[in-house]
A = this chain, B = another copy of it.
Amino acid sequence: MNIYDIAACSGVSIATVSRVLNNSPSVSPKTREKVLRVMQQESYTPNAFARGLGLNSMHMIGLLCTDVSDTYYAKAVSLVEKRLRKDSYDALLCCTGNDPTDQKKFLQLLLSKHVDAVILIGSAFKEDAQNAYLAQAAKEVPVVIINGLVELPGVYCVLCDERNAVRQNVHSLLHQGITRILYLYDVLTYSGCQKRVGYQDGLAEAGLPEMPELTVQVPKSIPEVRDAVAALLKDGPSFSAILASEDLIAIGALKALQNAGLQMPVIGFNNSILAQCASPGLTSVDNMLEILCPTAVGLLEKLLSGEPVPQKTVISSRLVERETFHAN
């Protein structure tokens, strides 16, 4: 069943059928009615490829995500996809992993599929070399970055003020009289850098010196973090609170503390389900995916309909206090 058949059955031309299909106002109600009835009867579905060829769009958005199996990114993908459906966009999912070469390859791949736009979720795009590719891509279609920042024409960023979130955490710990705060992080994506700088900000504001021995990079793995923190507890510099760039990392640290029979404030990041799973419940910074994601898609919607939108949208975080917050 194609548009020609429908045209024949309805006794009109394919042009008219196409108009009905596209809700063109210039079709008489009677004609529209008739054509629609035939479509219904024949349970006609327009061919998406033919449509794509003509319009140069299949109403698809490319989702470039480092890793959907990660709880945080999975949530972001879920929220984005749900919001995209509202505008009847389809989501083409592309998981890149952390290799920059793959990331650019997949970006290329999405463009070759003529997606209407690309949304970056947790991408590590950060170095200039990669940004060159992003810049190129952004010339072809709008690029929206969730919780990342690349200031380039055609690239729009929606992000959470994580730097300030960490700064405030430091501040509140200092307020409890804790000055030696261990900061654990894994990768230095844009987001990763912001958090670390927030940690430094917090200390600097209180006139405290930087403590490089308390800023420790760890792999994103519970047992490895646990062991690393255990080692620190044994031989390392002393500390009496822990901030982590990720819930998972915080949980690894929590395990080390438990094994050592110690208690101290531990604050994670992302407010993921993992934070709820931990015992004691992990206090965590919520970076507001529930807001970021719909906002990002909303932006895209406007962009694609030609409306102007800000290149950068920043929202603030929210601390979710659970059992690991206070000292003693």
Contacts and interface: CB of A to CB of B under 8 A. Distances in A.
Interface of A: 45, 47-50, 52-53, 56, 58, 60, 63, 67-71, 74-75, 77-79, 81-82, 90-95, 109, 112-114, 222-223, 248, 251, 254-255, 258, 273-274, 276-279
A222 B279 CA distance: 12
B68 A78 contact: yes
A113 B48 contact: yes
A91 B90 contact: no
Given A45-B112, A90-B94, A92-B92, 7 more contacts: A48-B52, A48-B113, A49-B53, A52-B53, A58-B58, A68-B77, A68-B81
User: How many copies of the polypeptide does the oligomer hold?
Assistant: 2
Q: Would you list the 3 A-B pairs with minimal beta carbon distance, nearest first?
A: A74-B74, A69-B78, A49-B52
Contact of A48 (B45, B112, B248): B112
Given A69-B75, A93-B81, A222 B63 contact: no
B71 A68 contact: no
Given A52-B49, A90-B113, A279 B276 contact: no
A49 B58 contact: yes
Nearest to A77: B68
